[in-house]
Amino acid sequence: MSFLKKTKAITIDGPAGSGKSTVSRLVAEKMGYVYVDTGAMYRALTLKVMDKNMDFADEDAIADLASGLMLELLPSCKGSATIRVMMDGRDVSEAIRTMEVTQNVKHVAKIASVRKKLVHLQRKMIDGISGAVMEGRDIGTVVLKDAACKVYLDASFDERVDRRLAELRANGRPVTRLEVANDLKQRDHTDKTRKVGPLKKADDAVLLDTSDLSVTQVVEKIVNYAKDVIRGKRP
Ligand code: DC
């Protein structure tokens, strides 16, 4: 079943540090679309597993937890780069961004039954609304593979490390460049080699290298591309 008959969707995939979150949020704002950060969903489930002291190897129990996940993704306060995430009525916006959660997401993201449930939830979230920008790793290839407007963001490894470093330091995290580089290298590897829903550019996605572009330039390019698609100027 296609969810895109009613909903216009822009999919934005890419590796960590490619600038997806900031850009996706701003594109959604400019288009008047809802913004869905699917990484926040995998992070929230990971936090829940950690809070409950569950074993990451217990895939069935984690899939059950995913079925009962009560998540709300709310617009951020003005000026904040990330959205607000409520889980079971509790604000977990900051708790899902810790190093521990970041390092543990891979255990949850590789479970096929978990991905199936979260993909279903992601489709349901935008079903029937007029427009959505959905950001993640498998949005153009799996979640919304019928979308007419797909973008794959990338940037050089050094640039992505610099961006992550600046972001973490701005949030008061005392990390070294080497730690950030090692973390990104590992995340690239696990994201790209996952058996289900790996990070991959969809064949029909537009590739945008953001290494030498400002956030404003990237947003403008995507908005222009999306408008061309809507007007039928692009195949
Ligand atoms: O975008 P992010 O860094 O907040 O995502 C956190 C992790 O969640 C990422 O390392 C891989 C996983 N993820 C995923 O497997 N599929 C998605 N659609 C989004 C994120």
Q: For residue 82, is it within any domain?
A: yes
What's the structural domain count of the chain? 1
**pLDDT tens string 96-138:** 988 899 999 999 999 999 999 999 999 999 988 889 999 999 9
58 is in which domain, residue-wise?
A: 3-226
Query: Within 10 A of 51 (CB to CB), how many other CB atoms are there?
Result: 13
Q: What is the pTM of this model?
A: 0.94
pLDDT of residue 1: 43
Pocket test for ligand 1, best of 71, 137, 193, 194 (most atoms within 8 A of CB): 137
Q: Is pLDDT at 234 greater than 80 in this prediction?
A: no
Is residue 214 in a domain?
yes
- 135 Cβ closer than 6 Å to some ligand 1 atom: no
Confirm whether 231 is domain-assigned: no
How far CA 133 is from CA of 64, 110, 166, 190, 197, in Å, comes to: 28, 24, 25, 24, 19
With beta carbons less than 8 A apart as the criterion, state whether 18 and 153 touch: yes
pLDDT digits (tens, 9 = 90+) for 135-191: 999 999 999 999 999 999 999 999 999 999 998 888 887 889 999 999 999 999 999
State the amino acid at position 84 in one-letter form.
R
8 Å CB contact between 46 and 105: yes
As a whole number of angstroms, the longest Cα–Cα distance in the chain is: 52
Asked if pLDDT for residue 79 goes beyond 60, the answer is no
Q: Ligand 1: distance of its center to the CA of 14 in Å? A: 10
**Residue-level pLDDT at 2:** 52
Is residue 77 in a domain? yes
220 in any annotated domain:
yes
Atom nearest to 138 CA in ligand 1: 18
Query: Does position 233 have pLDDT exceeding 90, yes or no?
Result: no
Q: Is 136 helix (H, G, I), strand (E, B) or coil?
A: strand
Looking at residue 127, which CATH number applies to its domain? 3.40.50.300
